[in-house]
Every structure is written in structure tokens, then in C-alpha cells.
Amino acid sequence: MSELFQDYSEAVARSGAYDEMFAPGLIARKSYGQVEDALRELSLADVSARAESMARTFLDRGVTFDYAGEERPFPLDIVPRVIPADEWETLERGVAQRVRALEAFLDDVYGRMSVVSDGVIPRQLVTTSAHFHRAVHGFEPAGGVRVHVSGIDVVRDAAGTFRVLEDNVRVPSGVSYVLENRRAMAKGLPEAFGQQHIRPVEEYPRRLLSALRKTAPSGVDDPTVVVLTPGVFNSAYFEHTLLAGLMGVELVEGRDLICRGNRVYMRTTAGEQRVDVIYKRIDDDFLDPLQFRSDSMLGCPGLVNAARAGGVTIANAVGNGVADDKLVYSYVPDLIRYYLHEEPVIANVDTFRLEEKEAREHVLDRLDELVVKPVDGSGGKGLVIGPAASKDELDALRRRILTDPRGWIAQPVLQLSTVPTLSGDKFGPRHVDLRPFAVNDGDDVWVLPGGLTRVALKEGSLIVNSSQGGGSKDTWVLSDSPQLPGPDLPRQSISVREQVSVWPVESNWRDRQSEQEQQ
């Protein structure tokens, strides 16, 4: 422990961030007590051997992401990120609240647009969004849900307050790593699990499947669900296979599907089989060549019309990208008040809207102190961190902002919270974010206890995306009370059950044979 955490407190002080594991003075926070005990028992050699074996398991199991055409294991760090029960309770409420608000917002912008007529957001904001798809305007999707699955990115600032960084309601990915990380950690650091109650994550695929089935078009008794993947070259292909496998449904590509009479079928050896719910892991632009990019080979012509006619449920719904738009993000607290009449549980990060003249001038004066992001980017693409950028980069950025102010937002540089992370021969503080996943079945928003904690593996780096050298950590949500056995599994009943007897009386073949031998 001492050798592994050498220089740790100095490094935390240097970064000025909130450390998740240690309070100032290298005192472990209560929720990390057991993790600290487990790590203290280990030597450097133990830790590296385990880390290496975890990495090898990931490669063996094919837990990889595709980086520049190459399969790479997703680096998993051996120190988990632990969230105490009370903090999780807040996060859970905040995430569910946000999902409900975005669901209402999407329903509104593709319908009456009362949010615009009531003056909450400008019409132009919606109509200029690159992901506002007129093709899906004016109909309620079958099942009535648009945001079946969402990933709300949350960070913790230097004061230790959680803030929402962005919303992902199109195709949020990463949940497969949550499931795989837990498996790997159970074998990699078993000592840390013992006394405390860590909430399980393994029910996610079942929750997802039941939500998808519940939102099937009406009148279908036993809905057929499929996962639609762009194919083996997609960076998240592993996740698609894992989810399809764990839900026990078919993983289809666009060419396996066929639309006829506003119904969707898949080609099987037993002929065409009706598909009722499509869990779509393709970008909207490639989904339907009749409506979007006509050169797309990944989708299936006619899907959008089938959805409009109520013949198929597409999850998440087409056109959700308008709620992901980072300029819309800056209005989400207002949307929560407008639709739900509640105050936001988790605050946003302060955001400058660059199309407003005053804000723009203010930002352009201090570009070197801010983070500037494109409104429709994901995966950290196009993002510029002012303090780390060169003068040329800032000048280029300035020109781009002036030509397209609608396309950018600016935020102060947040010192994301840190968690100890193995780097070389010791632990160092590394910045993390958190993506909790929520599943909405129309009646209820369920938040997976945990989520994906991504970590920037370079010291001081604030970019946690896997495509830019990030790794991940298993995320443990503690629960105060032990999980009670289900009411249908009383242990005492074992003796009662032994009374039941349905087999025929045992034939005494042994005795009979000895009789025969005697004869």
C-alpha cells in the first residue's frame, strides 16, 4: 500500500480536483474502506500480475473496441470507482428526471411544438439542429416511447458536486463494458467484495428486453425483438453481439431485413419472420435510404414508413438526436421545469451559447481558458481545450466559431474528479466521468445501479474517450441493506420439498439379482 500510493497526495494537490477515494491527507473515504484494505494486502507484483491477467481475459473474450481498424482490449483499471448509497440515490433521481424531461421534449418537438409557442426555447434552435428529422414529424411511435435507452454523462467538479455533462439519447454505447468489468473484477479483486453489498448489474439485459417487448406495437402477443447492427466493422460491434446474446434475440444487419406493407420481416431458414421491435444501433442517417442517405448500405428501405404506420417499434426512436444537441442541452434545466414542474436534481455545467452575441464576444476574448465543443459531436471529436491548445489552434477555432456560431458551445474547464489508477509502478490520480444507463419502458425509468466510469489514463488529461487513450473502471454502487432473497425463494422450504415424491418405488434389483444367483 505505502509503496503503491507513494506521492499520491502530492499529485492530487497538484491537480486541484476532488479525489473519489481519499479525502485530503490521504484518509480513505468511508465508501472506499474495503477497497483500501484489499489493496493494502497486495504488493506491486500482485497488482501488476492481476492487471495483466484481467487484460488478457478481455482480449480472450473479445472485449475490444475498434480503433483505426484494429481490435484493442478496452483497458480496465484494477481500482473500482465506488459510489455510496446516498449519492447514488441523488444520481438515480436526477438521471430518471432528465430522461422523463427529454422524452416529453421529443414528443413535443415532433408534435405540437408547444415548447416553442410557450417561449421556452426558440423555434430556430430546433429547426437548425442537424438531427431534427422532419421525416418522423407528426406521429407517435408504436409503444409510445422514444428514449428507451439513454446514457447521461455525469462528472464531478472540484467541489465534489455532480453535474451533467451531456445527454446521449441516440445510440448510447458502453453498457457491455459495465457487464464485463464486473465479471473481471469479481475475479481480479475478490477481496474487496466481501463485507459490503454491491448492487448487481447483471439484470440489465433482462430489463432492456422486457422494456423493448413492452413497447412493441399493440396487438402483438409475443413480440420478436432484434438488435440491428451496422456490422462487424463497427467500433461497438462487441457490444451488439453481447446484448443480443444476453437477451437471446437475433443480431441482424440491414440486409437481413425486408419491409413490405409497412411491416418488417427478417429472412430466416424458415422463411420470412415478422419483426416487431428493432433495437437500433445504427445512426439515423444510415437507417433508411428512402428517407436519409440514399447511399447507405447498412439500413433497410422502408423502416421509417413502417414505424410511422405503427408496424414496428424502433428503439431508440428516429430523430432523437435533436435532444442530444449540445445547444439544446443548455436548455434542459428549463425543459425540466417546463414539462415536469420540478427543479433539476443535477445541475448542468455552465454553458455559453455562442450564437448569442454577448456570450460570443465574452468567449472569444478568453478562448484560452475555456473548453469549446461542437454541438453535434460525440466521442470527444472536434473538442478544443483552451489551456492545452496552441495559438494556431485557437486562431483556427476562432474563425470556425465566427462562420458557424450555431455549431459550437463553450464551457469552463472542469477539474473532473480523480480515482487512483495503476500507472507504471504506482497509483496516480486520473480524471474520471460517469455514464449511468437508464432504460425506459414507458411507465417507469430504471437506472442501472452503476454505469460506465471512463478514465483518462494520461496524467492531467481530461479526455476520457476510449478512442483517445481512455480506459474504464468498474463502478460499484453500495447499498445500505443487504439484498433480501426473493419472496419466492424461502430457504426453509427445502425440508418441505423433500416430502414430495413422484418417482415409482425403487426397484430392488440388487436383491432380486442376488436371489437369482442363489437359485
Partner 1 sequence: MLSRIAESLFWIGRYVERADGTARILDVHLERLNHLPPEEQRSVARELLAVMGARPQSEEFGLPELLHALAYDKSNASSIAGSLGAARENARRARETVSSSLWECLNTTYYGLNQHRKDVVGTYRFCNWVLERTAMVRGLADTTVSHDESWLFLVLGRSLERADMTARMLSTRDVLSAGMSWVNMLRCAGAYESFLRTRRAAFGDQHAAEFLLLDRLFPRSIVYALRDADECLAKLDPSAQRVGFINDARRIVGQARTFLEFHRTDDLMAELPEHMDRVQKAVTQASDAISRKYFNQADELAWVGEVS
Binding residues for partner 1 (CB under 8 A): 50, 53, 186-188, 190-191, 193-195, 198, 200, 202-203, 206, 209-210, 213, 222, 245-249, 483-485, 488-491, 494, 497-498, 500-504, 506-507, 509-510, 513
Decide: residue 183, CB within 10 A, 0-12 exposed, 13-18 middle, 19+ buried: middle
Comparison of 73 and 407: residue with beta carbon closer to partner 1:
73
Closest to partner 1 by CB, 44 vs 158, is 44
How far apart are the C-alpha atoms of 133 and 135, rounded to whole Å? Answer: 5
- Least separation, in Å, of the C-beta of 244 and partner 1? 10
Q: Which three cell numbers stand for residue 336?
A: 425540466
Q: Cell numbers at residue 167, please?
A: 445527454
DSSP state of 164: E
Comparing CA positions, the residue from 58, 99, 94, 97 lying closest to residue 76 is 58
Closer residue to partner 1 (CB): 197 or 400 = 197
CA-based nearest residue to 81, from 455, 403, 473, 422: 473
Q: Which is nearer to partner 1, 163 or 213 (CB)?
A: 213
3-state secondary structure 268-289: ECCEEEEECEEEECCCHHHHCC
Residues 12, 25: Cα–Cα separation, whole Å: 10
Question: Smallest gap, in angstroms, from Cβ of residue 426 to partner 1?
Answer: 21
CB 332 to partner 1: min, Å: 34
Nearer to partner 1, 226 or 410 (CB): 226
Distance CA 134, CA 322 (A): 11
CA distance 130 to 127: 8
With respect to partner 1, which residue has the nearer C-beta, 122 or 490?
Answer: 490
Rounded to a whole number of angstroms, the minimum distance from the CB of residue 186 to partner 1 is: 5
Provide, rounded to whole angstroms, the least separation between the CB of residue 77 and partner 1.
17
Nearer to partner 1, 202 or 404 (CB): 202
Q: Which is nearer to partner 1, 62 or 111 (CB)?
A: 62
Q: Give residues with Cβ within 8 angstroms of 64, minimum separation 6.
A: 58, 71, 72, 73, 74, 238
- Taking the complex as a whole, the smallest distance from the CB of residue 258 to partner 1 amounts, in Å, to 22
Distance CA 375, CA 209 (A): 31
CB of 273 to partner 1, least distance (A): 13
Strand partners, 268: 271
Q: Cα angle vertex 458, ends 453, 460, to 5°?
A: 90
Can you tell me whether residue 3 is helix, strand or coil? coil
- Residue 407 CA to residue 355 CA, distance in Å, equals 8
Cell of 398: 476562432
* Min dist. Cβ of residue 190 to partner 1 (A): 4
Q: Please, which residue, 242 or 457, has the CB nearer to partner 1?
A: 242
- For residues 249 and 370, which CB has a smaller minimum distance to partner 1 in the complex? 249
**CB 17 to partner 1: min, Å:** 31
Amino acid, single-letter form, for residue 251: L
Return the number of other C-beta atoms located less than 10 Å from residue 131's C-beta. Answer: 19
Cell of 362: 465574452
Cell of 250: 437475433
Three-state DSSP at 316 gives coil
Minimum Å gap between C-beta 245 and partner 1 is 5
